[in-house]
Structure 1
Amino acid sequence: MKNSLIKRSIAKVIRNNIGLSILLVFVICGVVVTSLIPPQILKYIVDNNLVPKRYDKLLTLAASYIGVILFVGIFDFVKEAILAILGQKITKEIRIEMMEKLERINAVFFSANSSGTVVSRFTNDVDAINSLFTSGIIGMMVDCFKLIGIVISIWTFSSKLGIVTILLMPAIYGLTRLFQKRMLKSQIENRILIGKVNNHISESLKNIQMIKSYSKESYMEENYKRYLLDNYKTIEKVNFYDSIYSPLIQLTRAVVIAFIVVLSSKQLNFLGISLGMVAASIELISNLFTPIENLGMELQDIQQAVSGIRRVNDFYSESEDDPKQHKLKAQNIIPNREAVKLSFNYITFQYEEGINVLQNIDLSLKPNEKVTFVGRTGVGKTTLFKLIMGLLKPTKGNITINGVDVYDIPNSEKRKVFGYVDQNFHIIKGTVADQISLQDESITRKQIEKAIDFVGLTEYVEAMKKGLDTEVVSDNLFSQGQKQLLAIARAIVTNPPILLLDEITANLDSITEEKIVSVLEKTSESHTILSISHRLSSMIASDTVVILEHGRVKNSGSPEVLLESDDWYRSHIALEKLTWS
Structure 2
Amino acid sequence: MKSKKDNGVFETIRMAAMSHHLLTAGTILCVAASVVASLLPPLLLAGIIDRLTAGIPLTFAAVLLYFGSLALEGGLSSAQESLLVLFGQKMTHALRSEMSRKLTRLPASTLAGQNPGEVAARFSGDVDTVEALFTSGIISMAADACRIISIMAVIAVKNTGIALVLLLVLPLFAVFTRHVQKRMLAAQLDNRRAVAAVSGQVPETLHNIRTIRALGLESYRERRYDRCIGESYAAMERTNFYDAIYSPVVLALNAVVAGIVMLLSASGNAMVLTFFGMSVGTSVAIINYISRIFAPIESLGMEIQTIQSAMAGVKRIDAFLAQPERTIPAERRTAARGDVELAHVTFGYGEKPILSDFSMTVKQGGQVTLVGRTGAGKSTVFKLLLGLYQPQAGTVTIGGVDVARITDRERRTCIGCVEQHFSRVPGTVLEQITLGDPQITAEMARNAAKLAGIDEAIQALPEGCDTVCSDGMFSQGEWQLLSIARAAAADPAVLLLDEVTANLDAETEARVLEALRRASAGRTVLSVSHRIYENLGGRTVKIEPQSM
TM-score range, shorter chain: 0.7 to 0.9
Partners of 2:219 and 2:421 in 1: CA distance: 35
Q: State the shift of 1:147 in Å.
A: 1.1
Q: 1:425 — aligned with what?
A: 422
Partners of 1:167 and 1:123 in 2: CA distance: 43
- Paired letter, 1:427: R
Deviation larger for 3-12 or 482-491: 3-12
Partners of 1:285 and 1:369 in 2: CA distance: 86
Instruction: Say whether the 8 Å CA contact 2:369–2:533 is kept in structure 1.
Output: no
Aligned partner of residue 364 in structure 1, secondary structure: strand
| Residues 462-512 of structure 1: CA deviation (Å, up to 9, x unaligned) | 33333334332x121012222122111211223322111223334444554
Q: 2:34 — aligned with what?
A: 31
Q: 1:373 — aligned with what?
A: 370
Partners of 2:211 and 2:396 in 1: CA distance: 48
Q: 2:342 — aligned with what?
A: 344
- From the superposition, tell whether residues 480 and 304 of structure 1 become closer, same or farther in structure 2 (CA, over 3 Å): farther
Q: 1:274 — aligned with what?
A: 278
Partners of 1:494 and 1:225 in 2: CA distance: 49
Q: 1:99 — aligned with what?
A: 100
Partners of 2:84 and 2:521 in 1: CA distance: 64
Partners of 1:55 and 1:101 in 2: CA distance: 70
Instruction: Say whether the 8 Å CA contact 2:17–2:91 is kept in structure 1.
Output: no
Instruction: Say whether the 8 Å CA contact 2:137–2:304 is kept in structure 1.
Output: yes
- Paired letter, 2:277: I
Instruction: Say whether the 8 Å CA contact 2:99–2:321 is kept in structure 1.
Output: yes
Q: 1:455 — aligned with what?
A: 452
Q: 2:311 — aligned with what?
A: 306
| Residues 308-347 of structure 1: pairs in structure 2 closer than 5 A | 308-330=313-335, 333-334=336-337, 340-347=338-345
- From the superposition, tell whether residues 49 and 350 of structure 1 become closer, same or farther in structure 2 (CA, over 3 Å): farther
Is 1:288 matched up with 2:288? Answer: no
Q: State the shift of 1:303 in Å.
A: 1.8
Partners of 2:83 and 2:203 in 1: CA distance: 42
Partners of 2:253 and 2:62 in 1: CA distance: 31
Q: 2:110 — aligned with what?
A: 109
Q: State the shift of 1:144 in Å.
A: 0.6
| Residues 67-102 of structure 1: CA deviation (Å, up to 9, x unaligned) | 222222222222223333333333333333333333
| Residues 157-210 of structure 1: CA deviation (Å, up to 9, x unaligned) | 344432321232233233333444444555566674698599799979x97999
Q: Which has the higher contact order (CA 8 A, sep 6+)?
A: 2
Aligned partner of residue 414 in structure 1, secondary structure: helix
- From the superposition, tell whether residues 367 and 114 of structure 1 become closer, same or farther in structure 2 (CA, over 3 Å): same
Q: 2:395 aligns with which of 386, 398, 402?
A: 398
- From the superposition, tell whether residues 396 and 222 of structure 1 become closer, same or farther in structure 2 (CA, over 3 Å): closer
- From the superposition, tell whether residues 439 and 96 of structure 1 become closer, same or farther in structure 2 (CA, over 3 Å): closer
TM-score by length of 1: 0.80
- Paired letter, 1:90: M
Instruction: Say whether the 8 Å CA contact 1:372–1:544 is kept in structure 2.
Output: yes
| Residues 370-411 of structure 1: CA deviation (Å, up to 9, x unaligned) | 333345544544333222122333333321222121211111
Is 1:487 matched up with 2:483? Answer: yes
- Paired letter, 1:40: L
- From the superposition, tell whether residues 210 and 400 of structure 1 become closer, same or farther in structure 2 (CA, over 3 Å): closer
Instruction: Say whether the 8 Å CA contact 2:52–2:58 is kept in structure 1.
Output: no
Instruction: Say whether the 8 Å CA contact 2:367–2:539 is kept in structure 1.
Output: yes
| Residues 218-233 of structure 1: pairs in structure 2 closer than 5 A | none
- Paired letter, 1:492: A
- Paired letter, 2:83: I
Is 1:67 matched up with 2:68? Answer: yes
Q: State the shift of 1:274 in Å.
A: 1.0
- From the superposition, tell whether residues 197 and 170 of structure 1 become closer, same or farther in structure 2 (CA, over 3 Å): same
Instruction: Say whether the 8 Å CA contact 1:194–1:231 is kept in structure 2.
Output: no
| Residues 416-463 of structure 1: CA deviation (Å, up to 9, x unaligned) | 111111122122333323322334444355543443333333443333
Deviation larger for 169-178 or 12-21: 12-21
Partners of 1:487 and 1:217 in 2: CA distance: 34
- From the superposition, tell whether residues 159 and 508 of structure 1 become closer, same or farther in structure 2 (CA, over 3 Å): farther
Q: State the shift of 1:286 in Å.
A: 0.8
| Residues 323-381 of structure 1: CA deviation (Å, up to 9, x unaligned) | 41313453xx33xxxxx3111122334665x6655443322223333333345544544
| Residues 134-173 of structure 1: pairs in structure 2 closer than 5 A | 134-173=135-174
Q: State the shift of 1:310 in Å.
A: 1.8
> 5+ residue gaps in structure 1?
335-339, 553-581
Deviation larger for 188-197 or 287-296: 188-197
Q: 1:531 — aligned with what?
A: 527
- Paired letter, 1:49: R
- From the superposition, tell whether residues 199 and 45 of structure 1 become closer, same or farther in structure 2 (CA, over 3 Å): same
Partners of 1:101 and 1:320 in 2: CA distance: 7
Instruction: Say whether the 8 Å CA contact 1:329–1:413 is kept in structure 2.
Output: no
- From the superposition, tell whether residues 358 and 301 of structure 1 become closer, same or farther in structure 2 (CA, over 3 Å): farther
Q: 2:539 — aligned with what?
A: 543
Instruction: Say whether the 8 Å CA contact 1:498–1:529 is kept in structure 2.
Output: yes
Instruction: Say whether the 8 Å CA contact 1:484–1:504 is kept in structure 2.
Output: yes
